[in-house]
């Protein structure tokens, strides 16, 4: 019985010291002062928290719409000789704020009177987040710009039997381009965001396969 009393007293003393330590820590917290802190102090503290969240890994899935910027494609589109199909892209990226390294894989399709075309490839980009810390706004909005390179091919989609029967009719062309883009992330919940982007090939790169594309979708940061 005496041992139990001793243990109980010791346990209560430990809790007392822990409680005193927590109270002292709260008093020393930059947002728990005896008097109301100055706005500059609060903003500086929040800015520090914001800057410390520098490293994150992101994955996103988006709907993708692409158009080639050349006279032949535009004329075929106007005459309804070619019809764009559903496209998508999957993005993974590593951000060390404000710089982000991104790899995107994509696939787009086109229907013509005679063939079905596929435009597949990868994009390697370096993005820069351009918005400075603006309090609550910075917690939800992430605008960015980026440059990189797209390696891709536009090919006629045929079955293996069709390729064997008509080997000369199967064709593909490289459509790689240097590119730039701008985009915006809007965080809608903890770690989840809605994103939209506009991309375009540089005019000084491959003018025959110059493209522009836009995409929208959902992603997650962790």
For Cα atoms 182, 185, 190, give the angle at the middle one, nearest 5 degrees. 160
For Cα atoms 117, 178, 173, give the angle at the middle one, nearest 5 degrees. 30
Is 139 a residue whose pLDDT tops 60?
Answer: yes
Distance (Å, whole) CA 172 – CA 36: 68
Is 19 a residue whose pLDDT tops 50?
Answer: no
Is residue 68 within 8 A of residue 95, CB to CB? The reply is no
Going by pLDDT thresholds of 50, 70 and 90, the confidence category of residue 63 is very high
Distance (Å, whole) CA 59 – CA 220: 6
Distance (Å, whole) CA 169 – CA 116: 13
Is residue 191 within 8 A of residue 221, CB to CB? The reply is yes
Is 125 a residue whose pLDDT tops 90?
Answer: yes
Query: How many other C-beta atoms can be found within 10 angstroms of the C-beta atom of residue 45?
Result: 14
Is 168 a residue whose pLDDT tops 90?
Answer: no
User: What is the C-alpha end-to-end distance of the chain, expressed in Å?
Assistant: 52
Distance (Å, whole) CA 59 – CA 57: 7
Distance (Å, whole) CA 17 – CA 38: 31
Is residue 100 within 8 A of residue 142, CB to CB? The reply is no
pTM: 0.70
Q: Match 């003393």 to its residue by tokens.
A: 13
DSSP H/E element including 15: helix 2-28
Q: Supply the pLDDT for residue 183.
A: 96
| CATH, domain 53-221, list 3.30.1780.10, 2.40.160.20, 3.30.750.24, 3.30.70.2190 | 2.40.160.20
The CA–CA distances, whole Å, from 206 to 34, 121, 171, 179 equal 65, 15, 19, 10
Is 190 a residue whose pLDDT tops 60?
Answer: yes
Listed by start position, the domains of the chain span 2-37, 53-221
The gap from C-alpha 184 to its chain's centroid, in whole angstroms, comes to: 9
Q: Match 């039997």 to its residue by tokens.
A: 161
The residue that leads in pLDDT, 157 or 95, is 95
The residue that leads in pLDDT, 165 or 120, is 120
Which DSSP symbol is given to 88? E
Is 115 a residue whose pLDDT tops 70?
Answer: yes
């Amino acid at each position: 019985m005496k041992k139990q009393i001793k243990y109980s007293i010791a346990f209560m003393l430990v809790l007392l010291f822990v409680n005193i330590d927590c109270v002292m820590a709260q008093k020393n917290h930059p947002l728990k002062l005896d008097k109301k802190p100055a706005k500059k102090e609060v903003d500086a503290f929040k800015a520090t928290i914001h800057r410390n969240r520098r490293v994150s890994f992101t994955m996103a899935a988006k709907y993708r719409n692409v158009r080639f910027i050349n006279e032949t494609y535009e004329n075929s589109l106007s005459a309804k000789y070619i019809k764009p199909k559903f496209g998508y892209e999957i993005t993974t990226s590593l951000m060390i704020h404000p710089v982000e390294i991104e790899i995107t894989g994509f696939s787009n399709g086109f229907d013509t009177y005679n063939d079905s075309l596929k435009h597949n490839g990868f994009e390697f980009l370096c993005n820069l987040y351009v918005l400075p810390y603006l309090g609550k706004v910075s917690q939800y909005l992430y605008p960015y710009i980026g440059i990189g390179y797209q390696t891709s091919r536009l090919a006629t989609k045929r079955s293996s039997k069709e390729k064997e029967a008509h080997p000369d009719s199967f064709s593909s062309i490289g459509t790689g381009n240097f590119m730039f883009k701008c985009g915006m992330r809007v965080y809608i919940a903890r770690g989840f965001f809605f994103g939209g982007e506009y991309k375009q090939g540089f005019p000084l790169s491959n003018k025959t396969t110059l493209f522009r594309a836009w995409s929208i979708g959902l992603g997650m940061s962790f």
